[in-house]
Structure 1
Amino acid sequence: MITAAAPGIAAIGLEPKELFVLGEVEQHPYPAERAATPCMPKPSVTVYVKRLEAAALLRREIDSADLRRHRLVVTPAGRKASAQGKALLSRAYSDRLGRLGAAEQASLLALLEKMS
């Protein structure tokens, strides 16, 4: 699915992994929290965060509750890019799921629920 959506994601100025980092930052804005999630290796995340900051899709802020900590904030442009990228991924998944019949979709759903 990612491969199918990659050209569209590139058209909005992101690499697929940068899209995932944006999503992670929305859920885990503090670097220590993000490091605890098995998203991708920390050095890779650092590179992507720097790129996203340079593109003004993320910014660093000092935590007002603890001035020693900083957090990453997705900017309005970052939220827009993230939403566009997620929509592209959703369409890619929908296109693939549309190839399955109703019974196959039900079987897939049952298998996915069993795995979760």
Structure 2
Amino acid sequence: MIHIIIKVVVVVVVVAVVVVVVVVVVVVVVVVVVVVVVVVVVVVVVVVVVVVVVVVVVVVVVVVIVVVVVVVVVVEVEVEVVVVEVVEVVVVVVSSSRSISSSSSISSRS
């Protein structure tokens, strides 16, 4: 009778140990899976943030380049217009002064 009780106790202890080992293995696997998922999510978020930052920087650089080009073109056009206007004024003044000079020379001869 004692042999049967000892066998039952040994079987119960072995089953308990196996159950504890299985539970520990399952908990470790679940923890590892959760850690891997969290790491993957963090890596994906970091990659997305880096991509967004790069895209924003590229867009800002392109906008700045376009604005600079537009400003340079507009300033060149304005400078050309001002130069043309100044040249026209100089031509008018010079021709006026020639006309006045020639008129004064004609009037002095008379």
TMscore range, shorter length: under 0.3
TM-score by length of 1: 0.23
Higher relative contact order (Cα pairs below 8 Å, separated by 6+ residues): 1
Larger fraction in helix: 2
TM-score by length of 2: 0.24
Higher alpha-carbon Rg: 2
Larger fraction in strand: 1
